[in-house]
Structure 1
Amino acid sequence: MERTVLIVDDQPLFRSVARMIVARIPGWRILAEAASGEEAVDRAAGAAVVLMDINLPGIDGIAATRRILERQPGTAVVLLSTYAAEDLPAEAARCGAVGYVHKDDLTPSLLRELVGGAAGTGISPPTAVP
């Protein structure tokens, strides 16, 4: 099954890194990219997976995640940041994301593990977000 991915980050360099990581996952392809929370909400249609930075201009990644999941409840959103997991805002655990990954730890295998069978089938409560 092909998984379409939306990459959301305000830093072009990190979006480039994320593209390279997604390209290494068989069956995954980039659908679109966004540099703000508003763009993410606008471009999420059709995305099975969203790689969502928490700190974004405009609405933040947590609010954007909620809006995307209201429209597309089967989307697997993975929160990304440079925060340590224990320093995440409390609402990160309640926004519906399937997990959180520190940007330094983002790998193809970790993404596959977090997303699992969630994309397109509905998402159980997040287990990887503290």
Structure 2
Amino acid sequence: MRVNDGSGGAEVVRVVVVDDHPVVRAGLLGMLGGQPGFEVVAEAADGAEALAAVARTRPDVVLSDLRMPGVDGVELIRRLASAAPGTRVLVLTTYDGDADVLPAIDAGAVGYLLKDSPREELFRGLRAAARGESVLAPSAAARLIERVRAPARPPRGPLSEREIEVLALVGGGASNREVAAALFLSEATVKTHLVRIFAKLGVSDRTAAAVTAHERGLLP
């Protein structure tokens, strides 16, 4: 952060905005540009552009979406951790599922907010991120708490070989119909396997099942 001599010594947070949607970027630029204490030093449409912008401007915070073409948000966070360790990354996205929150935090993001957050929450989050403090949307915090508790839960029975096959396909993005075709099963049988998998892993949806199975080393 640098000192803004024109505002009585107030600290100015220098920000790079990263989002593949031009309208979203324009909205963020307009919002931050009109707010004292922030300076948008660059914008980028994907992770590759963001890496170049950070190398050029050395901002305090990168405010980044996650799901972008090419170099996505998680890969951007990983690369910045080594390329620009002094720059913090605050995620601003629409998604708060396990498959989004956990990889972003693991990669090194200091904060995770949703795009429907109030303006003041975003401003506070940026200031906190610039100081190296964590800031999490309530749903993201809940995901992290759940992950911390999960290893302490006793296993609810091992997965069968068939259940592992089903889960591996589901984790790869296959629909129930595609799983059924690949394993020569009916869709009803696939649904039954998923219900049993969820119960054994202590989860309630497909994404959480895949993430939990990977964390416990159940999938190759």
TM-score range, shorter chain: 0.7 to 0.9
- State the Cα deviation string for residues 30-62 of structure 1 (Å, max 9, x = none): 101100111111111311111101011111101
TM-score normalized with structure 1 length: 0.83
> Counterparts in 2 of 1:31-110, with a 5 A limit?
31-45=41-55, 46-84=58-96, 88-105=100-117, 107=119, 109-110=120-121
Give runs of ≥4 in structure 1 deviating > 4 Å.
Answer: none
Aligned twin of 2:15: 5
Q: Name the structure where strand makes up a greater proportion of residues.
A: 1
Aligned twin of 1:116: 127
The 1:117/1:89 distance shift into structure 2, 3 A limit, reads closer
Query: Using CA pairs below 8 Å that are at least 6 residues apart, which structure has the higher relative contact order?
Result: 1
TM-score normalized with structure 2 length: 0.51
Q: Name the structure where helix makes up a greater proportion of residues.
A: 2
Structure number, greater radius of gyration: 2
Q: CA RMSD in A?
A: 2.1
The 1:118/1:127 distance shift into structure 2, 3 A limit, reads closer
Read off the aligned partner of 1:44 and give its amino acid letter.
V
Count of residues paired in the alignment: 126
* Unaligned stretches of 5+ residues in structure 1: none
Asked if 2 retains the 8 angstrom alpha-carbon contact of 1:98 and 1:114, the reply is: no
Asked if 1 retains the 8 angstrom alpha-carbon contact of 2:93 and 2:114, the reply is: yes
Percent identity of the aligned residues?
35
